[in-house]
Structure 1
């Protein structure tokens, strides 16, 4: 459904797999979230932009520019400009990110660097790329590419490294990259003059867990991981002085016992008391309360579709990108951390992520 924006609506962008990347989505599309009701609608002012394989989106910290992975074997990333009414247009051509199947990216807080996690393939290892950004947010030359090494015990998934996420810690001191194939979180220091990465730690996690995504607690001393292969959620102590992680507690991502489940997105609340994770297989979103450093399950609710992948917190709602059903659901977060759905999900073909602006 299309609609005109209200004054208090939250602008959203969704990313989807396109026909040339195995899906039937439009690429990048613009929607609106009513924070009072949780109703999500398409923004009729903005035409979708056909960005190939737009599996993850990240916003520039100070410019009206958004970056997208182009998740294909060719391995590129794109910059997208937004004008005053939200209209989307390419900002330059896609550029190579030096690896296959880029699946996550983030902009450094200083706005000068784009960091990309390349999942790799059966024959190509996981890598992390760095690009310089121009004053207008345009993608400039690549400045570094680091190659991950490692493997794990899960046949068919961990024969080699597979970088799955890259993010900057809350202190802005280190860059962390999860690797599903290597059962590790790699810690780097970014030289903000040259755009090069120096490895400072390799944090091994439990064998066969397959860390996919991390979410920091507000204070930065705790970080939570969605473990795709072991179907768990783990709370780690994070040492901001040396970039190391220490496991503190662990919980099953779902109570469902009759499905093969793969956690996807993970989000921590602004108050630091709650954590939520999507469950692909169980098709739920699970809520956890943090008591001390222990994760306590609060229950699960239907995800509003099948194969919930991306998870985004916006205006008191969790936006759930259900890839296989092609639906975007908005779940209201209640004061006790549990979730409820007020409105039916909106159709969103091959959607895999959402970004609140």
Structure 2
């Protein structure tokens, strides 16, 4: 996670659903976060970029390049270069994501590959794609698509596979992809010379849990999952030598009685003592204390809006993207992991994610 001095304004990019993708947002917009106060403000000097269905953003590890999903069927992914004045402009043309409705992406730590999770559709299974990047961060070619298989017991949500997140483990050895439809986390090894994804493990999780996103604890020995369909948060042992997960404990994601609650984003604190998760339905951010391999609820804080989806850590704050109310909110992290809203909610129509630069 980036660090800044207490006087530096932190640059934040937000991704929103546009009218072509069922929302009323602008695509990608630039904001500023004041770390000392947690106040958010639009960067009026940087015009929004109308990327269709910008549901997730990722930054290149060493270049001023940002990548965005274009959540549609069929899906595409885009690269954008960030200029010295903060403006964003397309870096080459979008490329096929290799599937339908791409919803998450990440850049491999070496900087040469973009990895994308395709949620899929009624006619297209969930999958993970690899794209080669050139020395400038430009998308060069789609090199592989690893198709998922499987289903689960939840009617209407688990008739087939639905990849929801792709990330690289802390050691940089394995690529993990959550699959909400298959109740699984698929583990791959990326062949960096050729760009192929070799499957090395399929971690079967609790039936009907619907794993959405993972967050690694510092050091990588534990990984936490936000389980969308069972409304739980699960702690897993992670074996860095084999890329396998073993679930060891699980707790409800919210104490609010809401049958429709769906956990969304999940973040582990840099110190490893706390985990936070958004609750869509309860409209809260829940805080948990990590005790060994157990999660103990600390409490819940209003998300400052409705349908909190994305959750991002930024210099002692959590940025909450409230999709339905169209607001971005900064919550200050207090001494024991509890949260308090730091400033007014900032209007960002159909916002679903935030990226701290």
**Post-superposition CA distance 1:99-132 (Å, at most 9, x none):** 0000000000000000000000122100100000
1:329 counterpart = 2:329? yes
Instruction: Give, in angstroms, the shift of residue 7 of structure 1.
Output: 6.1
Say if 2:14 and 2:29, in contact at 8 Å, map to a contact too. yes
Structure 1 unaligned blocks of 5 or more: 1-5
**Distance in 2 (alpha carbons) for counterparts of 1:260 and 1:101:** 23
Match of 1:219 in 2: 219
Match of 2:34 in 1: 34
**Distance in 2 (alpha carbons) for counterparts of 1:7 and 1:54:** 30
Match of 1:91 in 2: 91
Instruction: Give, in angstroms, the shift of residue 258 of structure 1.
Output: 3.4
Match of 2:3 in 1: none
Instruction: Give, in angstroms, the shift of residue 335 of structure 1.
Output: 1.2
**Post-superposition CA distance 1:4-37 (Å, at most 9, x none):** xx96100000000000000000000000000000
Instruction: Give, in angstroms, the shift of residue 63 of structure 1.
Output: 0.2
**Distance in 1 (alpha carbons) for counterparts of 2:82 and 2:187:** 33
**Distance in 2 (alpha carbons) for counterparts of 1:249 and 1:344:** 36
Match of 2:236 in 1: 236
**Distance in 2 (alpha carbons) for counterparts of 1:201 and 1:331:** 37
**Distance in 2 (alpha carbons) for counterparts of 1:330 and 1:246:** 33
**SS at 2:170's partner residue?**
coil
Structure 2 unaligned blocks of 5 or more: 1-5
**Distance in 1 (alpha carbons) for counterparts of 2:342 and 2:124:** 44
**SS at 2:190's partner residue?**
strand
**Distance in 2 (alpha carbons) for counterparts of 1:292 and 1:112:** 36
Say if 2:7 and 2:36, in contact at 8 Å, map to a contact too. no
**Distance in 2 (alpha carbons) for counterparts of 1:133 and 1:20:** 27
**Distance in 1 (alpha carbons) for counterparts of 2:39 and 2:230:** 34
**SS at 1:20's partner residue?**
helix
Aligned residues: 352
Query: What TM-score do you get using the length of structure 1 for normalisation?
Result: 0.98
RMSD between aligned residues: 0.9
Say if 2:56 and 2:353, in contact at 8 Å, map to a contact too. yes
Match of 1:3 in 2: none
Say if 2:7 and 2:35, in contact at 8 Å, map to a contact too. no
Q: How does 1:98-109 map to 2 (within 5 A)?
A: 98-109=98-109
Say if 1:215 and 1:266, in contact at 8 Å, map to a contact too. yes
Instruction: Give, in angstroms, the shift of residue 342 of structure 1.
Output: 2.1
Q: How does 1:1-357 map to 2 (within 5 A)?
A: 8-357=8-357
**Distance in 1 (alpha carbons) for counterparts of 2:10 and 2:99:** 34
